[in-house]
Amino acid sequence: MNTSTLAPITPTASASSTLTAFSGFQRVAGGTRTEVLAQLRQRADAASVLLFDDATGAQVDLDMREDAAPSEPEAHDEVPRGVGRPKLGVVAREVTLLPRHWDWLGRQPGGASVALRRLVDEARRVNADRDTERAAREAAYRFMTAIAGNLPGFEEATRALFAGERERFNALVAPWPEDIEAHLQKLSAAGWSAA
């Protein structure tokens, strides 16, 4: 299984994320960053709680200090803005293509940039369902790996998840702790093909 395309663990929780907290295999908090902070501050074991982003399934860190302001991920490789369309958010990046691709792009109405934007928008539209399924499966996988990696049937459940075998996946995670199974069902819900 190729996991190199999965996003790394999110270093901090953004203010707009919804989170779910687990103490061992028990769900102990859930909601927005502010709601989870309030719930966890009432717990003596808050330092040992694992937090997960509900959108990505990634494990996150949350600053429990009272005076901690909501932190947003820092932008690391920001390119200084120069000439261009700053109001549209245009950012120049490098694309490597073969000469025949550049030739074709150059012949398109509006030039290479317009043609590439059009191709990307079309691919996003056509593959929206597949991208949603893939993102849901990856979110479930991230959560499973972090919290359920030692549970019986983990490897088989992972195979069933990525093979799109919903019934098999459900059967394999059914014996797992109730809160883990419920959260996996929530994360993977959009990961099953309608067909």
Q: Could you write out the three-class secondary structure of 2-38?
A: CCCCCCCCCCCCCCCCEEEEEECCEEEEEEEHHHHHH
Please give the backbone phi and psi of residue 13, each rounded to the nearest 5 degrees, phi first. -90, 130
Range with lowest mean pLDDT among 19-23, 112-116, 148-152, 153-157:
112-116
- On average, the pLDDT of the chain sits at 81
Q: Which one has a higher pLDDT value, 63 or 30?
A: 30
What pLDDT is recorded for position 2? Answer: 42
pLDDT of residue 124: 83
Please count the other Cβ atoms lying within 10 Å of the Cβ belonging to residue 49: 19
Query: In this structure, are residues 164 and 193 in contact, taking their beta carbons and an 8 Å threshold?
Result: yes
Q: What's the gap between Cα 73 and its chain centre?
A: 14
pLDDT tens sequence across 89-138: 677 778 888 999 888 888 888 888 888 888 888 888 887 888 889 999 99
Q: Look at 48-52, 93-97, 159-163, 191-195 and tell me which has the smallest mean pLDDT.
A: 191-195
pLDDT over 50 (residue 47): yes
Q: Render pLDDT for 2-18 as a digit per residue (tens, 0 to 9).
A: 444 444 444 455 556 78
Instruction: Spell out the residues 6+ positions from residue 110 whose beta carbon is closer than 8 angstroms to its own.
Output: none
Over residues 51-68, mean pLDDT: 81
Reduce the DSSP state of residue 132 to 3 states and report it.
helix
pLDDT value, residue 1: 42
For 129-149, write each residue's pLDDT tens digit: 888 899 999 999 999 999 999
Report whether pLDDT(72) > 70.
no
What phi and psi values does residue 46 have, to the nearest 5 degrees? -60, -30
